[in-house]
Structure 1
């Protein structure tokens, strides 16, 4: 029997039951939900896990990074359709002179990695990634298709922000989003918070599942292999990546975020609905631009799972019971986070187990339970 801790508001009892089922067999999981700015679910389970425990959220980091871009667009500091090379001349090399910030955020730039790969040490640092990408030729003609740049996309964005403002994406997130709202979501985990971090562990699979999985794994120099960092020597170990202190400390903006379910849900609540009496971070027109569908159909890297708004994943396509403009981002270790502006939902989920096949069936059940409870109250 899974021991579940925390609270749910009246009407959300079924969410607690679904979370208990999802947490069974996990070495730690958390779920937090806001509805119209009020926290209605705050649950956790697992040894050494509380509601305040921090863990790696991998690509859920991209939601935090995209929020920074949206704020700077809202300020008039960034222009989505301006060629990046206009601010960063070195980026024009190898046919990239017309690529825009919109192309990068919608995964249409063709930049998913570099020839020869990036080591784990290089992938820890956005400035190093950006230098390597500056001379890289795109892997497809920019704009002709879309493909997920799992570890490198926001190194380009960070460079543009540094040139435009003199400060990093991480600095803007800390000062405009995390600190004012007291969020447990970090791009660069302070040393003082390390005792709250719990490592991500590899998942298990049966021999039959492993045989079926590895029979279909793309080669390291395929489009998918490059997108997931497998073309390095040795191939990137995603489990070890965020369990490395240097990675957590530098907080690269594509995949190195550290946080918990409260932090993820709170960020989306703050962005769309307002939190603790504050106004929403995003104005309606800017929010509308960033949640509009940009790249749909088959993703060259991830396949049918890759459906995107601008910087965010298109959660209205991922979960058909949500509204069309629901948006957010999940992460490789099993985190999920999103907002449904029409339904009033801000959702955050974490777990400490990395799925060997990047499969997260509990996301569907938890999201559905939350949606149905929110719609009924």
Structure 2
């Protein structure tokens, strides 16, 4: 059943079909659904749309693992500066990490989800989930779940903390501080790794999944699997299992901005970050040089993901968006999705930068089901022009 909805915002000439697609797709959602869609092409904003009660273009949502895109941008900047080297051992920067047979693991392997430190044997507490330093301290002595470099698996809740500890040891600054100084503030981004208290009124809590009776029956039929890599990576194996839907609704998570999942953003913030990173904005040079984008976008892990139990593809940190979801995008596209339905990426070949947020947690978690058609509509308009 569809409903009539009123989409707000603007589209540039030639992008009217994107508004039509946005309207059509979201008319099928629940009345309390809210979403934002923003895109840039070659540094020019071409789409800025939103829909839903108590929502406008400035509303902030939890973006889950789309946060990792900001974390990996900081890593790329530090590699570009020469402050970090991808083929140095992690233990060169963080000696304690060598414990448990991880001494030869490189930063490249860590960022490509290949080191096997996806979680802790006994799980993390809610306080630790919000605190990257606490997670890093727990994982330094942890024996990896596979020999580093031999396979890969999604480090869902740990990769931001691991990368952040490397940044802190190498620079004396936290990843969140460097992101704030080098990325967020210069471009005025509404994308926060640590939401200021004064901006809390702009945040909207995540609404839980509204599964159909058939979908709910499917979920209820899935037996618990304690001790599996998936359970460990998503922190469902400890005394206080993590409820993914509620992560951004935690004030400590929003305030501390853990670099794996703690980001708070609007679609404007997501899209503008990638536009600044790859294409440049307001006459400024891109944050990343072309060879840096190419190296971080090059496929490093491709095939069977031991955690997600499916075919996945990663570059250095960033997800390979074209290989993972949108084969019509250019090779080397970089970005990251969030389990709550957010999505953000840059396609350096077409000059497209994309940001999408939604308030309702999608079934079964991951990119929103409407994303493929929205991305295709924008890409078609961009390439056609």
The alignment's TM-score, normalised by the length of structure 2, stands at: 0.96
1:323-338 matches, cutoff 5 A: 323-338=330-345
Distance 1:343 1:217, change over 3 A: farther
What is the CA-CA distance between 1:23 and the residue it aligns to? 2.5
Go from structure 1 to structure 2 and tell me whether the alpha carbon gap of 1:269 and 1:218 turns closer, same or farther (over 3 Å shift).
farther
The offset of 1:101, in angstroms, is: 1.1
Distance 1:374 1:332 in 2: 27
- Which residue matches 2:164? 158
Q: Where in structure 2 are there 5+ consecutive unaligned residues?
A: none
Deviations 1:189-216 (A, max 9, x none): 0111111100011111123212223434
Q: Does 1:126 find its partner at 2:132? A: yes
1:71 alignment partner in structure 2: 77
Give the drift of 1:128: 0.1
Q: Specify which of 14, 20, 23 is matched with residue 23 of structure 2.
A: 20
In structure 2, the CA distance between the partners of 1:73 and 1:110, relative to structure 1 (3 Å rule), is same
- Deviation of residue 59 (structure 1)? 0.2
Q: CA deviation at 1:7?
A: 0.2
Residue number among 9, 12, 16 corresponding to 1:9 in the alignment? 12
| Counterpart contact for 1:95–1:137, Cα < 8 Å | yes
**CA contact 1:44–1:51 (8 Å) conserved in 2:** yes
Instruction: State yes or no: 1:113 paired with 2:119.
Output: yes
**Structure 1 unpaired stretches of 5+:** none
Following the alignment from structure 2 to structure 1, what is the Cα–Cα distance between the partners of residues 95 and 206?
39
Q: Larger deviation: 19-28 or 6-15?
A: 19-28
CA contact (8 A) 1:18 1:365 kept: yes
Please say if residues 120 and 241 of structure 1, whose CA atoms lie closer than 8 Å, have aligned partners that are also in contact: no
Residue 346 (1) aligns with residue 339 (2): no
Partner of residue 276 from structure 2, selected from 249, 259, 270: 270
2:307 alignment counterpart: 301
Distance in 2 separating the partners of 1:22 and 1:235: 33
Please give the secondary structure, in 2, of the residue aligned with 1:242: helix
Deviates more, 1:219-228 or 1:193-202: 219-228
Superposition TM-score, scaled by structure 1 size? 0.98
Q: Is contact 2:362–2:369 with CA below 8 Å preserved after alignment?
A: no
Which of 139, 143, 153 pairs up with 2:149?
143
2:292 counterpart of 1:289: no
**Aligned partners of 2:50, 2:212: CA distance in 1, in Å?**
27
> C-alpha distance in 2, partners of 1:265/1:304?
28
Which residue number corresponds to residue 190 of structure 1? 196
Task: Please give the root-mean-square deviation of Cα atoms over the aligned residues, in Å.
Answer: 1.2
The answer on 1:36 being equivalent to 2:42 is yes
CA deviation profile, 1:308-366 (whole Å, cap 9, x unmatched): 11110001112111111111000011000011111110000000111241152211111
1:307, 1:215 → 2: CA distance?
29
Whole-Å Cα distance in 1 between the matches of residues 317 and 138 of structure 2?
21
C-alpha distance in 2 between matches for 1:329 and 1:218: 28
Give 3-state SS (helix, strand or coil) of 2:291's partner. Answer: helix
Partner Cα distance (1:236, 1:259) in 2: 22
- Give a deviation string over 1:290-310, Cα, whole Å, max 9, x none: 010111111111133521111
Q: Alignment partner of 1:73: what SS?
A: helix
Which residue in the other structure is 2:250 paired with?
244
Offset, 1:35: 0.2
What is the rounded CA distance, in whole Å, between the counterparts of 1:21 and 1:151 in structure 2? 34
Q: Give 2:382's aligned residue.
A: 374
- Asked whether the equivalents of residues 202 and 356 of structure 1 are also in contact (C-alpha less than 8 Å), the reply is no
- Aligned pair count? 377
